[in-house]
Amino acid sequence: MPSFYNEVATDSDTEPARWVSGSGLDVNPMKLFDLAKSQGRVLYCAAPMVRYSKLAFRQTVARYGVDLAWTPMILAKEFNRSILARDSGKSYFTTSPSPTPTIAQLGVNSPLEISRTTTFLAPHINGIDINCGCPQSWACAEILGAALMQHPTLVSQMVTTAKKKLYELGYEKNKKKTISVKIRVHKDLRQTLDFVRQVEDAGVDFITVHGRMRHTRSSEPVNLDAIKLVKEHARVPVIANGDVFSLADVDRIVARTGVDGVMSARGLLECPGLFATDGKGDNRWEVLEFFMNSVIKAPIPFKLVVHHLSEMVGSDRSQSGRGTTLFTKEERAGLMECKSLLEVIDFVDGVRKVRRFE
């Protein structure tokens, strides 16, 4: 399946296509829903993943099928108050010569803080997303993430404030940036529907629904009926999050829920090119090559490189449904023993030559 990142042909098979408009920052995420529909499919999204959704990874998934990628959660209060926090978070939203459409996700619980963060980030991203889904205890203790599902009025105020700030900055007038929320569901789904109604009234542009409750284990199946219910009542586009490991999963989820988009996290970690497979053969080595070249141009911490590669080469615990792995068990063990990026490059070259892209 093509993503809009690949709409225009290039002179090189290894060089990602440029946006028709010249920059991914010129793309309104709401237009992407329409463009996906015109291609007979839903929007393909890369989920916000702590540490892992950095620039090199976002570039890779965008090259291979993802239309819209999220940054890891950025803690708004710390980001606003500390230049160190902003510098250490640069790779969350660092742009490239041909930036891809990116949503910055915020851990935030204050209208004032989201206004300030929106001012900092708006020039560099396509939208702001409020995290109402993180189930970690530290986040919920700070009234962040999933804890916000019990505070719809506060979330609505933050949506309104962020939209106002975009208008003041001149983006809302041209409909260039979006404000969205990513939520989980309540045990009583009437609460979820009320939450959605309130944020819609506040002006939210679209909603991502992780079909699990705060305390539901990721090993338990996502509640597609809950997502379907939200979609049936929502007035804005809805993205389904959870259990997306293959295009077959996409078809199953869309058929069951009628959503406008799907979002993958663990599935993309294992197979960053899963949205681009489309029965055209195994693209995993090509994707790995592109990722390694991206890491050299947009560095990330070494341990993250190793973790990404260990996921991409496959293992016995893979959930992608693929019957083979790129590395043997012994080769995976050798990868984990590497002590530097140069060692990793040499090691992977020893398994199979990695092309160097210009």
Enumerate the active-site residues: 134
Largest CA distance in the chain: 57
Secondary structure (DSSP) of 100-112: PPEEEEEE---HH
SS3 290: helix
Q: Which residue has the tokens 């389904």?
A: 240
- Residue 100 DSSP code: P
| Counts of helices then strands in the chain (DSSP H, E) | 16, 9
Phi, psi of 352 (to 5 degrees): -165, 135
Q: What are the phi and psi torsion angles at 183 (to 5°)?
A: -125, 165
Q: Give dist(CA 248, CA 228) in Å, integer.
A: 18
Dihedral over Cα of 320, 321, 322, 323: its sign: positive
